[in-house]
Amino acid sequence: MADSATQTNRYYLTTPIYYVNARPHLGHAYSTIVCDAMARRKRALGIDTWFLTGTDEHGQKIERSAKQAGCTPQEFATRIAGEFRGLWDRLGLTYDDFIRTTEERHKRGVQKLFATLRDMGFIYKGSYSGQYCIYDEAYVEGPPGTPCPDCGRITETVSEENYFFKLSAFERRLLEFYEANPGFMGPESTRREVISFVRSGLKDLSVSRTSFSWGIPVPGDEKHVVYVWLDALANYITALGYGSDDPADQAKFKKFWPADMHLIGKEISRFHCVYWPAFLMAAGIEPPRSVRANGWLLFDQGKMSKSRGNIVRAETVHEVLGADALRYFLMREIPFGQDGNFSFDALVQRYNGDLANGYGNLVSRVVNMVHKYFSGVMPETGAEKQAEAALRASAQSAIAGFGPAFDELNFSEALKSLWLLVAETDGYLTANAPWKKPAERREADHAALQARVLGTAAEAIRVITALVYPILPDAAAKVWRQLGQGEIADAAKESFLKNLAWGGLKAGTKLLEPAPLFPRAEKDAVERMQSLEENNDRTAVEAVSQGETGAKAAELAAVPAAASSAPSAAAVREEAKPAAPGHISIDDFAKVDLRVAQILVAERVPKADKLLRLEVDLGYEKRQILAGIAQHYEPEKLVGRKIVIVANLAPRKMRGLESNGMLLAASLEDGAPVLAGFLEEVPLGARLK
């Protein structure tokens, strides 16, 4: 009995742990903000909550990014993990723990999990020969050259000795588990996709790698490192103390496992809904209670991601409109589980419409009037009339409806309904116009009306504020103070949402001076955000060209400007200007990997006037490059030509195709490019220095 009571009164929720190959962007912030709002609500309901986030730091991709940035994987991971954590702190996110997969506590737990799986007979040695997507760290079926079904990048052929996990043994058990636990995964599209994946047959899964070393060594066979997904998924238990002998850790694990919710991006459902429960079942550990997938945040029609070069940083929105505006937009605009567009225009429109003119304006009107007519002290509202009864009923139904919608992750619906109450309260004020005394109304009657109307409106605001606190924590804290309710964080600690009811704002309460909540965003807000993003791009490019190491240099990968495609004429002209104010050192220059390559295939890209798709041979590897030279070069004439490419630029997708590098060209006055080349014979892959 005690156990089930404990279980219902605790809540463990997690974000995915973020790869450290790129700096955080809005896509990452989205998952983390949603979890933060959920954690805040749970805590304010008096539920013992544990909210975990962290970073995924091992694997070949990180190893390569670090090499490209000229530092060790550990240094690289530490810098980017610091950026994630720093950003979450600046945004005021209330995670209880931040796990890094390079921490000892995690390594120890992963090794214990691996050893347990082996001891239970679910791991055997074999060899894998097939395709692997380094970007998604996923094994892919198909012949060499097969693109990754998730990201579209060409997979690499891997042939190595591996340990295998007997995933095939879990096909039936998983299907039975899904059947018995209909709430295990969602939304419905995720559920269908996962079930059909399992029904189509599960093959054993390779769970170690030997061709690189940046990972957790397999216990007892150290030339293997644990497959990065087994390593990463285990964070959800290692962070609770799995693998530790310390009784305090063991108690924490006992208290919070199984997780109530893993919130993930939809692209990683298979890992969380198939592999993860199978690993746990095999190790004799209970699977998580639920996995919920969010859709993608899109920008310029594509999934916001580093490789597409279409990221927006949370810092930008934070700086111009504040963290609450970002939280509100993401949770109101995008029905959870679906993909949603991000645009600065839509953001500013929501901000002005719902926050500045809506909630913010309502609060300031009411607080101002209580100051003006009652010297800032809440009056006795007197007997309720029909209009007040109607508003009270609406507020009570908001209290009843908001929680279930929110808990079902229908944040957008929950907010939409709550904003109907904002509008109704506004309309109630306007209809009763406490600021206007008709000549025929007696003074005493007018004072009674003012007291009744302002008291009722202020109470409606109190209810709205309490409900919206998990989503707008900063604004709610200000309003709570203005309403004379003290610190909302203290109220949350005292589980104020558990007993939220109409009538909490007592007569005699002294209100604080009104303070602006959401100043209206002016026309230039969009431009300011755009220019912050552009400046950030430029800073990142300069960081690389000026020899920054580590995270900053790696940021080149996150930069769209002048990246992987053929340089635009303008970009080349820009580069040609002397670097002001200083010089770069030879070491700085050496970071750019310039190589001789030969064009094997050249063809136009359908529906893109300027783009050519090139396949080039570097001697040591072949790659695809997209170049914006179609208006100046006939593709047929390029085949066989030797060119110079920047070989260590991060891949970027354009028109659905991946570009792996950038060719060099001089830019003429009219913008026409002239490809760089050689008079003498040069071997493929030769480095320019």
Q: What angle do CA 521, 526, 528 make, to 5 degrees?
A: 95
Helix (H, G, I), strand (E, B) or coil at 601: strand
Query: Is there binding between residue 264 and ligand MSP (CB under 6 A)?
Result: yes
Cβ distance to ligand MSP smaller for residue 58 or 350: 58
Rounded to the nearest whole angstrom, what is the least distance from the CB of residue 18 to ligand MSP in the complex?
Answer: 4
Interacting residues of 572 by C-beta distance below 8 A, sequence separation 6+? 665, 666, 667, 673
Q: Does 65 bind ligand MSP (CB under 6 A)?
A: no
Of 13, 27, 412, 457, the one binding ligand MSP by CB under 6 A: 27
Q: Least separation, in Å, of the C-beta of 100 and ligand MSP?
A: 12
| Residues near 136 by beta carbon (within 8 Å), at least 6 away in sequence | 148, 150, 151, 267
Residue 405 beta carbon to ligand MSP: minimum distance, rounded to whole angstroms: 21
Among 11, 13, 23, 31, binds ligand MSP (CB under 6 A): 31
Separation CA 689–CA 682 (nearest Å): 14
Residue from 11, 12, 13, 19 in contact with ligand MSP (CB under 6 A): 19
Angle between helices 386-407 and 443-468 (to 10 degrees): 0
3-state secondary structure of 659: strand
Two tokens at 138? 């996923």
Say whether residue 265 binds ligand MSP (CB under 6 A).
Answer: yes
Residue 455 Cβ vs ligand MSP, minimum distance, rounded to whole Å: 43
Q: Which of 13, 17, 391, 644 forms a contact with ligand MSP (CB under 6 A)?
A: 17
Region of 16-24, 379-387, 441-449, 470-478 interacting with ligand MSP (CB under 6 A): 16-24
CA distances from 644 to 47, 100, 122, 367, 625 (A): 61, 39, 50, 67, 12
Whole-angstrom CA distances from 569 to 152, 162, 269 are 28, 48, 42
18 binds ligand MSP (CB under 6 A): yes
**Between residues 266 and 371, which has the closer beta carbon with respect to ligand MSP?**
266
Match 């240099």 to its residue by tokens: 553
Nearer to ligand MSP, 271 or 518 (CB): 271
**Judged by CB under 6 A, does residue 109 bind ligand MSP?**
no
Q: Interface with ligand MSP includes 16 (CB under 6 A)?
A: yes
Q: How far is the CA of 219 from the CAs of 127, 175, 246, 332, in angstroms? A: 18, 31, 21, 47
- Site residues for ligand MSP, 34-53, by CB under 6 A, read none
> According to the binding rule CB under 6 A, does residue 650 interact with ligand MSP?
no
Residue 30 sits in the site that holds ligand MSP (CB under 6 A): yes
Cα gap 98→85, rounded to integer Å: 8
Segment contacting ligand MSP (CB under 6 A): 17-25, 41-49, 351-359, 431-439?
17-25
The first and second tokens of residue 596, run together, are 């001789």
Q: Shortest Cβ distance from residue 76 to ligand MSP (Å)?
A: 15
Nearest distance, CB of residue 265 and ligand MSP, angstroms: 2
Minimum CB distance to ligand MSP smaller for 227 or for 402: 227
Query: Would you say 153 or 462 has its CB closer to ligand MSP?
Result: 153
Q: Can residue 268 be called a binding residue for ligand MSP (CB under 6 A)?
A: yes
Q: Is 333 a binder of ligand MSP (CB under 6 A)?
A: no
Task: Give the residue with the Cβ less far from ligand MSP, 54 or 470.
Answer: 54
Stretch that binds ligand MSP, among 79-87, 154-162, 229-237, 526-534 (CB under 6 A): 229-237
155 vs 235, beta carbon nearer ligand MSP: 235
Helix count (H) and strand count (E) of the chain? 26, 27
CB 321 within 8 A of CB 521: yes
C-alpha dist (Å) from residue 625 to 239, 601, 612, 647, 669: 42, 10, 8, 10, 25
* Amino acid type, 405: A
Angle at 64 between CA 686 and CA 84, to 5 degrees: 140
Residue 400: which residues within 8 A CB-CB, separation 6 or more?
A: none
Separation between Cα atoms, residue 573 and residue 673, nearest integer Å: 10
Which residues ranging from 276 to 305 are in contact with ligand MSP (CB under 6 A)? 294, 296-297, 303-305
Q: Which is nearer to ligand MSP, 57 or 426 (by Cβ)?
A: 57
Residue type, 684: L
Q: In the complex, which residues of this chain contact ligand MSP (CB under 6 A)?
A: 16-19, 27-28, 30-31, 56, 232-233, 235, 264-265, 268, 294, 296-297, 303-305
